[in-house]
Structure 1
Amino acid sequence: MSDIADRAGWRIEKDVQNARAHVSKQALLESDGRCHFCDELIAHALLFCNVDCRNDYDKEQAALRRAGY
């Protein structure tokens, strides 16, 4: 039984390491009062003006990563 628990613990640790490595590669966005996708004026604490812009930005960034940029 400990074999299964050991493998599960090892897998969880690897998943966490992979997730941390992925996050550290991504550039962090800073709030500058404009939507990062459509450049609309927004409150300074926000990054995007709405969910659609956030989703479009994520899709665009994913496409750029797939293209190697």
Structure 2
Amino acid sequence: MSDIADRAGWRIEKDIQNARAYVRKQAILESDGRCHFCDELIAHALQFCNVDCRDDYEKQQAALQRAGRRVD
């Protein structure tokens, strides 16, 4: 029984390591008072003016990454 538990523990650790590596590769957006997608003025603590702009930005970045282009 310990073999199954050991393998499960190993798999969980591996998944956590992979998730952390993925997060470290992601670009960190700095809040500058403008929406990162449509350039509208927003509060300095925000990165996007609404959920639609955030989703569109993420779709755009994913498409650029799939195309092998530089991702901001």
Question: What secondary structure, in the 3-state scheme, does the structure 2 residue paired with 1:4 have?
Answer: helix
Q: Corresponding residue for 1:59?
A: 59
Opposite residue 44 of structure 2, the aligned amino acid is H
Cα offset, 1:47, TM superposition: 0.4
| TM superposition score normalised by structure 2 | 0.89
| TM superposition score normalised by structure 1 | 0.92
Q: How does 1:22-61 map to 2 (within 5 A)?
A: 22-61=22-61
Structure 1: 4+ residue segments shifted above 4 A: none
* Alignment deviations for residues 8-57 of structure 1 (CA, whole Å, 9 cap, x no partner): 11111111111111111111000000000110000000000000111111
Distance 1:61 1:8 in 2: 34
Distance 2:2 2:65 in 1: 39
Opposite residue 54 of structure 2, the aligned amino acid is R
- Tell me how large the CA RMSD over aligned residues is: 0.9
